[in-house]
């Protein structure tokens, strides 16, 4: 259905936008005539509404603008105006970005009020088949109700009054995308016929009651102590509601007529409303349905479940009964089931043997349910609403249409080998569809069609394990935005089946349960793969080939078995390949099983991120044997790169962009002959080189050059006699009095492969290129911060009248090195470096031969 509107109805939309009410006949005729004569177009009509007295009375924004020219208009006036327009049109507040955009546009004069209203109405119309589906359907339904009101007055020669309009405005305010327009129109007509008589509230008593309602919208209230089958309740005209509560037990229904809505709270009883011809809706609120609750409906009666749970995980929860003549049900879910991870769903069983269509709307709060179809007649499932919903199983239905704007997760295992096949469409939300058909030849036949539409959607093929499980001719479309294809087994994709998929950007191998060989070249014809995702641990080996060069690899979980990734065209004849690996999860990624191997790549870029707090991800057994350069950016999560890190060709490990802590163990026998450079970041990094070696020609040739960067880094150099290591400092902030680096395995003995501290960046010259031994005035406080006594700070670096660039102090089994970074001869906590050499026995062991000044 296209949900088109004509000019008369668009004028109704302008009335709804400005005032939240339907047009009065005279006003509608006036504006319609201006349009037909060419005096104004729709934008002009919208603009002229702003100047009307009703607009100025409704909005301080217009009252100030038109009645007090030049008086400053506050942003709050504009915010109130934009917010009310959204509420009037769509029954929702604007999102933050939209609100800020329109307020600024009105403030700067980029748009006028009328142009703003025309723009958002038009945007809803243009997006009616996609992201704005719910907004447009809400407005469309409001327009139909408003137009019916105006027409009814004209056709029945009834005078319009503001009091009557106010009552209809209250009804219009309840209209949403899922409203039954025919029922609302009847409600409006009842109000008109009652000439605006306000409804009343009646209370059942402990005696036998005989209540007759008014022509307005009445409410009748009772509980288990006051409601009985002997009570007679006639709602009269209007749209009337019976509300029953559990005070000390489950209430029973009175004998009713003229009641359109029944609301029951905290009752575990079964209810049959099918015999009440006037009842249009039954709402069950706040009940634990563990052990089964039965609700019986007639044709045209809807069911709303609010705050319904299954504490016992009984899987025998809500039974919906109906006569065989009932062909469709409409059920609204509002906070049904426990949506938390591992929370119990609520099972809803459609028992009617004639029910072919189920309309399921999620509103109010998110829900999680499982559908059962004992009636065995279900053919079509329509999922709508503006709150997320998880449907763990959909039996029998061969057509599933999702228009839910908050995101629906739907799982189906229905056979596709019937004439009806299986058709699934989605639009607008962040939807997830799981095809859970059992593995077997042609499990998904050529009558299978999935189109996920707009939104960042996911298609999960959760059980198929071979290419012949999908018959040629099937169709799987990701649609607009960034869509994910998740596979239980990559072997379902071959040269033929790969062409059946289109519009996917992400391939997810998370949770792979079978040994998989996934050749991404088979998806290249109709998909642009930008990411390979591991959303959950694989439990069997996965071998991925032909990863596009521009694609990244994202790990949201630790691999549970070997994972091998081969990039397209890497290897022989391509000496400068690069790849990006992202470890990204809100919770910590722990130890992995097996190895993560990235073959034939020279530059590996590692990003480590999380939206959680104080998160550390672990990288276990990363094999990048051909990588000469590995960069690490631990921007929002720390990282611990364990001993299994295999990068024997490495010449540069660069974590200098990292804000969080980087822990890395580099213990390979590296093939570099001119040294390996290691750079830390701004965190308190841990760099361990204990067992590392290179192919340096002699023990006195450079093995490792380490730049720790900011933070209190813990650096363990290679074995003391194994080679020459250099630790580089470039700024005072690299190592300070209370956040100083600790260097272990520093060899100051020239007879061995001597290690060095590189201070070239500080520009020491002449006598500054020397070392002073300090024997007093220095101590460590309780937190191990270095304290230079106040009386010792002046001339701290001066030795017999000559300022040195470096001073050393013996702290027992360790030596502290002080660097006069600002070259003033005095020590300052904020201006000078402090470095700890762990295990160096004597301060006198540190001489100019251990330091690189130039």
Predicted pLDDT at 557: 96
> What is the rounded CA–CA span in Å between residue 355 and residue 328?
5
SS3 788: strand
Strand order across the beta sheet in which 232-234 lies: 210-212, 232-234, 255-257
Q: Are 118 and 42 in contact (CB under 8 A)?
A: yes
* Mean pLDDT confidence for 728-735: 98
pTM for the structure as a whole: 0.77
pLDDT for 643: 76
Quick one: which of 437, 428, 333 has its CA closest to 390?
333
Domain positions in the chain are: 7-193, 198-269, 702-852
Query: DSSP code of 155?
Result: H
* Distance in angstroms (rounded) separating the CA atoms of residues 587 and 591: 13
In the predicted model, what is the mean pLDDT of residues 376-382?
97
The answer to whether the CB of 520 falls within 8 A of the CB of 494 is: no
Cα separation, 751 vs 834, in Å, equals: 26
Structure token pair of residue 694: 């290179």
Per-residue pLDDT band for 623 (boundaries 50, 70, 90) equals: very high
Nearest to 227 by CA among 206, 248, 202: 206
Residue 752 confidence (pLDDT): 61
Q: Give rounded-to-5 percent helix, strand, coil for the chain.
A: 20, 30, 50
Distance set, CA 441 to CA 207, 437, 471, 514 (Å): 68, 11, 8, 17
In this prediction, residue 3 carries a pLDDT of: 64
Which residues sit opposite 543 in a β-bridge? 517, 564
Write the DSSP symbol of residue 813: S
The answer, yes or no, to whether residue 743 has pLDDT greater than 60, is: yes
Q: How far apart are CA 786 and CA 782, in angstroms?
A: 10
User: In the predicted model, what is the mean pLDDT of residues 794-809?
Assistant: 97
Q: What is the pLDDT of residues 216-264, one digit of tens each?
A: 889 999 999 999 999 999 998 888 999 999 989 999 999 999 999 999 9
Q: For the segment 25-66, what is each residue's pLDDT rounded down to a tens digit?
A: 999 999 999 999 999 998 899 999 988 888 888 888 888 888
Give ∠ CA 834-714-693 in degrees, rounded to 5. Answer: 120
Which residue, among 837, 629, 832, has the nearest Cα to 745 in the 3D structure? 837
- How far apart (Å, rounded) are the C-alpha atoms in residues 615 and 613? 6
Q: What are phi and psi of 579, to 5 degrees?
A: -150, 150
Nearest to 161 by CA among 189, 192, 190: 192
User: Bigger pLDDT: 753 or 238?
Assistant: 238
Q: Alpha-carbon distance 32 to 6, whole Å?
A: 11
DSSP 8-state assignment for residue 526: T
Q: How many CB atoms neighbour CB 640 within 10 A? A: 21
Within 13 Å, how many C-alpha atoms sit on residue 406's CB side?
14
Q: Which two tokens stand for residue 604?
A: 């590996």
Give the span between the Cα atoms of 663 and 593, in whole angstroms: 19
Query: Residue 626 — pLDDT band, cuts 50, 70, 90?
Result: very high
Residue 220 pLDDT: 96
Count Cα atoms within 13 angstroms, Cβ side, for 662: 32
> Angle of helix 133-155 relative to helix 25-36, nearest 10 degrees?
110
> Mean pLDDT, the chain, as a whole number?
93
Please provide the size of the chain in residues.
Answer: 854
Q: Compute the distance between CA of residue 146 and CA of residue 175 in angstroms, rounded to an integer.
A: 11
- The candidate with the shortest Cα–Cα distance to 689, out of 658, 657, 720, is 720
What does the pLDDT read at residue 196? Answer: 44
Q: Is the pLDDT of residue 316 over 90?
A: no
| Low-confidence winner among 144-158, 201-215, 747-761, 839-853 (lowest mean pLDDT) | 747-761
Given a cut of 90, is residue 388 above it in pLDDT? yes
CA 145 to CA 126: how far, in whole Å?
Answer: 21
Q: What is the largest CA-CA distance in the chain?
A: 112
How many other β-carbons are positioned within 10 Å of the β-carbon of residue 745?
20
**Cβ partners under 8 Å of residue 70, min gap 6:** none
What would the pLDDT profile of 658-708 be if each residue is shown by its tens digit? 999 999 999 999 999 999 999 999 999 999 999 899 998 677 788 999 999
CA dist 784 and 541 (Å) reads 48
DSSP state of 272: E
**What angle (nearest 5°) sits at the alpha carbon of residue 328, between those of residues 280 and 137?**
75
3-state class of 47 per DSSP?
helix
- Coil vs helix vs strand at 357: strand
- The pLDDT, as a whole number, for residue 445 is 98
pLDDT of residue 422 exceeding 70, the answer is yes
Number of C-beta neighbours around residue 479 at 10 A: 21
Dist. CA 796–CA 828, nearest whole Å: 9
pLDDT exceeds cutoff 50 at 1: no
Neighbour tally for 229: CB within 10 Å = 9
The residue ranking higher by pLDDT, 194 or 265, is: 265
Q: Which helix (H) or strand (E) holds 679?
A: strand 676-679
In 10 A of CB 695, how many CB atoms? 12
Which one, of 410, 411, 420, lies nearest residue 447 by Cα?
A: 420
Other Cβ atoms closer than 10 A to 252: 16
Q: Comparing C-alpha atoms, which of 124, 130, 123 is closest to residue 454? A: 130
> Are the beta carbons of 562 and 591 closer than 8 angstroms?
no
| Alpha carbon distance 680, 663 (integer Å) | 9
How does pLDDT run across 539-589, given as a tens digit for each residue? 999 999 999 999 999 999 999 999 999 999 997 778 899 999 999 999 999
CB 557 within 8 A of CB 583: no
Beta-bridge mates of residue 91: none
Per-residue pLDDT at 750: 64
- Please provide the DSSP assignment of 418-466 as one string: STT-EEEEE-SS--EEEE-PPSSTTSB-TTEEEE--SSS-EEEE-S--S
Res 64: pLDDT: 85
Taking only the tens place, the pLDDT of each residue in 431-452 is: 999 999 999 999 999 999 999 9
Q: What is the pLDDT of residue 427?
A: 85
pLDDT tens profile 99-128: 999 999 999 999 999 899 989 998 888 888
Residue 195 has pLDDT above 60, yes or no: no
Which pLDDT score is estimated for 130?
76
Percentage of the residues of the chain whose pLDDT score is greater than 90:
80
What tokens does 661 get?
A: 């802590």
Q: What number of H helices and E strands is found in the chain?
A: 12, 58
The SS3 of residue 90 is: helix
Spatial distance between the Cα atoms of 832 and 828, rounded to a whole number of angstroms: 6
* First and final C-alpha spacing in the chain: 79
Phi, psi of 767 (to 5 degrees): -65, -15
pLDDT of residue 677: 97
Asked if residue 93 lies in contact with residue 87, where contact means CB atoms within 8 angstroms, the answer is yes
> How far is residue 785 from each of residues 708, 711, 737, measured CA to CA in Å?
19, 14, 6
> According to the 3-state scheme, what is the secondary structure of 408-428?
EEEEECCCCCCCCCEEEEECC
Q: Which of 243, 242, 234 is nearest to 215 (CA)?
A: 234
Quick one: pLDDT at residue 53? 86
8 A C-beta contact, residue 448 and residue 473: no
- pLDDT exceeding 70 applies to what percent of the chain? 98
- The yes-or-no verdict on residue 736 having pLDDT over 80 is yes
**Higher-scoring residue by pLDDT: 180, 508:** 508
Three-class SS state of 365: coil
């Amino acid at each position: 259905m296209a949900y088109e509107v004509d000019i008369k109805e668009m004028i109704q939309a302008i009335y709804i936008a400005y005032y939240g009410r339907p047009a009065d006949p005279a006003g509608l005729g006036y504006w319609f005539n201006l349009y037909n004569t060419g005096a104004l177009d729709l934008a002009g009509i919208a603009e002229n509404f702003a100047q009307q007295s009703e607009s100025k009375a409704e909005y301080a924004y217009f009252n100030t603008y038109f009645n007090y020219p030049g008086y400053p208009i506050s942003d709050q006036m504009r915010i109130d105006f934009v917010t009310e327009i959204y509420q009037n049109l769509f029954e929702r507040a604007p999102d933050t970005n939209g609100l800020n955009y329109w307020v600024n546009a009105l403030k700067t004069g980029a748009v006028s009020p009328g142009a703003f209203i025309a723009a958002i109405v038009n945007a809803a119309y243009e997006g009616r088949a996609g992201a704005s589906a719910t907004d447009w359907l809400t407005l469309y339904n409001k327009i139909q109700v408003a137009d019916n009101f105006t027409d009814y007055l004209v056709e029945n020669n009834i005078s319009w009054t503001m009091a009557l309009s106010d009552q209809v405005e209250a009804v219009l305010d309840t209209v949403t995308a899922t409203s039954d327009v025919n029922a609302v129109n009847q409600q409006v007509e009842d109000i008109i016929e009652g000439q605006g008589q306000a409804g009343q509230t009646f209370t059942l008593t402990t005696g036998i009651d005989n209540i007759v309602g008014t022509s307005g919208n009445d409410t009748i209230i009772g509980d288990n102590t006051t409601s009985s089958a002997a009570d007679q309740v006639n709602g009269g005209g209007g749209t009337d509601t019976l509300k029953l509560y559990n005070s000390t037990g489950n209430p029973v229904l009175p004998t009713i007529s003229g009641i359109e809505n029944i609301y029951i709270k905290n009752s575990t009883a079964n209810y049959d409303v099918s015999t009440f011809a006037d009842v249009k809706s039954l709402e069950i609120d706040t009940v634990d349905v563990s052990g089964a609750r039965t609700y019986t409906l007639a044709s045209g009666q809807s069911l709303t479940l609010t705050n319904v749970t299954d504490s016992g995980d009984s899987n025998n929860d809500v039974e919906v009964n109906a006569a065989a003549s009932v062909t469709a049900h409409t059920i609204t879910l509002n906070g049904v089931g426990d949506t938390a991870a591992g929370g119990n769903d609520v099972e809803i069983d459609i028992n009617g043997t004639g029910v072919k269509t189920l309309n399921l709307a999620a509103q109010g709060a998110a829900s999680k349910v499982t559908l059962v179809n004992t009636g065995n007649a279900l053919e079509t499932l329509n999922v709508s609403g503006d709150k997320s919903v998880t449907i763990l199983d959909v039996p029998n239905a061969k057509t599933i249409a999702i228009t839910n704007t908050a995101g629906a997760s739907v799982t189906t295992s229905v056979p596709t080998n019937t004439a009806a096949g299986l058709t699934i469409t989605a639009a607008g939300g962040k939807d997830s569809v799981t095809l859970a058909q059992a593995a077997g030849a042609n499990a998904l036949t050529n009558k299978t069609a999935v189109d996920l539409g707009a939104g960042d959607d996911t298609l999960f093929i959760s059980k198929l394990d071979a290419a012949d499980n999908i018959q040629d001719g099937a169709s799987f479309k990701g649609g607009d935005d960034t869509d994910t294809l998740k596979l239980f087994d990559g072997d379902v994709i071959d040269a033929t089946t790969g062409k059946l998929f289109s519009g996917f950007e992400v391939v997810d191998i998370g949770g792979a349960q079978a040994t998989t060989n996934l050749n991404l070249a088979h998806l290249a014809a109709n998909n642009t793969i930008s990411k390979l995702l591991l959303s959950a641990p694989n439990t069997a080996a996965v071998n991925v080939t032909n990863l596009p060069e521009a694609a990244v690899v994202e790990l949201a979980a630790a691999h549970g078995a070997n994972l091998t990734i081969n990039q397209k065209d890497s290897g022989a004849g391509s000496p400068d390949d690069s790849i990006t690996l992202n470890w990204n999860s809100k919770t910590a990624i722990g130890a992995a099983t097996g190895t993560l191997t990235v073959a034939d790549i020279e530059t590996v870029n590692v990003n480590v991120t999380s939206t959680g707090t104080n998160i550390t991800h672990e990288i276990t057994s990363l094999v990048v044997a051909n990588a000469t350069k590995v960069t690490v950016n631990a921007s929002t999560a720390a990282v611990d790169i364990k001993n299994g890190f295999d990068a024997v060709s490495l010449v540069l490990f660069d974590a200098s962009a990292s804000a969080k802590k980087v822990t890395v163990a580099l213990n390979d026998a590296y093939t570099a002959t001119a040294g390996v450079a290691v750079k830390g970041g701004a965190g308190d990094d841990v760099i361990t080189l204990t067992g590392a070696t290179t192919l340096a020609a002699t023990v006195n040739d450079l093995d490792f050059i380490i730049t720790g960067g900011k933070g209190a880094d813990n650096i363990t150099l290679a074995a003391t006699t194994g080679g020459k290591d250099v630790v580089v400092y470039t700024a005072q902030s690299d190592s300070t009095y209370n956040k100083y680096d600790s260097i272990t395995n520093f060899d100051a003995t020239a007879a061995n492969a001597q290690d060095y501290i590189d201070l070239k960046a500080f520009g020491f010259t002449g006598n500054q290129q020397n070392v002073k031994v300090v024997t007093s005035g220095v101590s460590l406080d309780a937190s191990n911060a270095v304290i230079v006594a106040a009386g010792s700070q002046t001339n701290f670096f001066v030795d017999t009248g000559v300022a040195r660039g470096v001073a050393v102090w013996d702290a027992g089994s360790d030596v502290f090195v002080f660097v006069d970074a600002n070259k003033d001869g005095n020590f300052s906590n904020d201006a000078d470096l402090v470095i700890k050499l762990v295990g160096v026995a004597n301060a006198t062991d540190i001489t100019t031969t251990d330091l690189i000044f130039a």
